Copies of this chain bind each other. A is one copy, B any other.
Amino acid sequence: MTAAFDFALEASDGRARTGRITTPRGEIRTPAFMPVGTAGTVKGMLPESVRATGADILLGNTYHLMLRPTAERIDRLGGLHGFMNWDRPILTDSGGFQVMSLGALRKLDADGVTFKSHIDGSKHRLTPERSMEIQRLLGSDIVMCFDECPSLPADRDRIAASMRLSMDWAARSKAAFGDRPGHALFGIQQGGLERDLRAESAERLRAIGFHGYAIGGLAVGEGQAAMFDCLDYAPEQLPADRPRYLMGVGKPDDIVGAVARGVDMMDCVLPTRSGRTGQAFTRHGVVNIRNARHADDPRPLDAACGCPACRNYSRAYLHHVSRAKEIIGSMLMTWHNLQFYQDLMAGMRGAIAEGRFDAWQAEFHAARAEGDIPHP
């Protein structure tokens, strides 16, 4: 086992980059998409199946795990990797974003956040120090700073104050994280859609020094155009030799646009959540498998996809089990979506490595414009 956390850029094409993060638990090929395993499971998937799609790393949610089964319990049981049977890298968020989303259930002060559990109403507190402790107890490979993030739109003063609080918390997170060989701590850039605030945030983070840098506070309702505008400068405000992680993104075209703008890592619940409601991502756009037009269709969801849903079943079957709310519907549709996302990342990595990312993007957009295969 390599003891160090490291990042090596291997090629770039325009602003897009491909490379490799090294951790003691295995390599992460970038650009990387991280499936979300909120509560110790990627919903509807066995971990070996997640790995079979090509995922190198999962994301776990501090907020959910601290409430149930609790970080202390996971620690006693030997850590999150063994608990959920995933021995490769895990990134955990800090709990900040999800606690902020609780609205009336949480109360923010300069030191941290007090909140009530959505499960049983019990009272809890998160601070930068406690978030670092929880992520250590979980055994996370990539730990995220505890931060605060306003939902957009918000006025500039609110965004600036929030960003500066998050930068104070980033310094406290770094101090609390300490030095843990083989484990990485990522800072999170904030500043909303304000270029100068993003620059100030990036400077604060660089001064503290992190193993990687996340772009936070996007994909919170601002729309793709505004997000892309921000991504036209935000990644380049961050160190070029460290991984850049765009949090909570996104739809396939969001991901492609983010990679084109220099992002190396992403995560999103969309492929898993959509699978459970009958939405499939394909080269030709989104297919709602519950739509009546699929009821008699003997063809696969996507003949070019190698996932079990596409290899072994018809659209008619997927339509049936998804409409009947059978568990296998969630299982197969989730598998397909995760496979699609990982194939997307592999396609981009190959295209960037070979200097043909523009052509790859043109093909990606052309296939989507074509639309789904017509009714037989």
Contacts and interface: CB of A to CB of B under 8 A. Distances in A.
A78 B299 CA distance: 12
A323 interface: yes
B83 A314 contact: yes
* Interface of A, helix, strand, loop or mixed by DSSP: loop
Contacts of A83: 314, 316-317, 320
A42 to B, nearest CB: 8
A44 B295 contact: no
Contacts of A233: none
A330 B327 contact: yes
A321 interface: yes
Contacts of A308: 46
Interface in A313-339: 313-314, 316-317, 319-321, 323-324, 326-328, 330-331
Given A78-B298, A296-B76, A296-B77, A46 B316 contact: no
A77 B296 CA distance: 7
A286 interface: no
Nearest to A311: B85
B317 A44 contact: no
A39 B312 CA distance: 17
A73 B317 contact: no
Given A46-B308, A320-B68, A295 B328 contact: no
Contacts of A328: 41, 43-46
Q: 7 closest A-B pairs (Cβ-Cβ)? A: A41-B328, A44-B327, A69-B320, A85-B312, A41-B326, A77-B316, A39-B324
27 contacts: A39-B320, A39-B324, A40-B321, A40-B326, A41-B321, A41-B327, A41-B328, A44-B327, A44-B328, A45-B328, A46-B328, A68-B320, A68-B323, A68-B324, A69-B295, A69-B320, A73-B296, A77-B298, A77-B316, A78-B298, A83-B316, A83-B317, A83-B320, A85-B312, A85-B317, A327-B327, A331-B331
Given A68-B320, A85-B312, A327-B327, 19 more contacts: A39-B320, A39-B321, A39-B326, A40-B321, A40-B326, A41-B327, A43-B327, A43-B328, A45-B328, A68-B323, A69-B316, A73-B296, A77-B298, A77-B314, A77-B317, A78-B298, A83-B316, A85-B317, A327-B331
Interface of A: 39-41, 43-46, 68-69, 73, 76-78, 83-85, 295-296, 298, 308, 312-314, 316-317, 319-321, 323-324, 326-328, 330-331
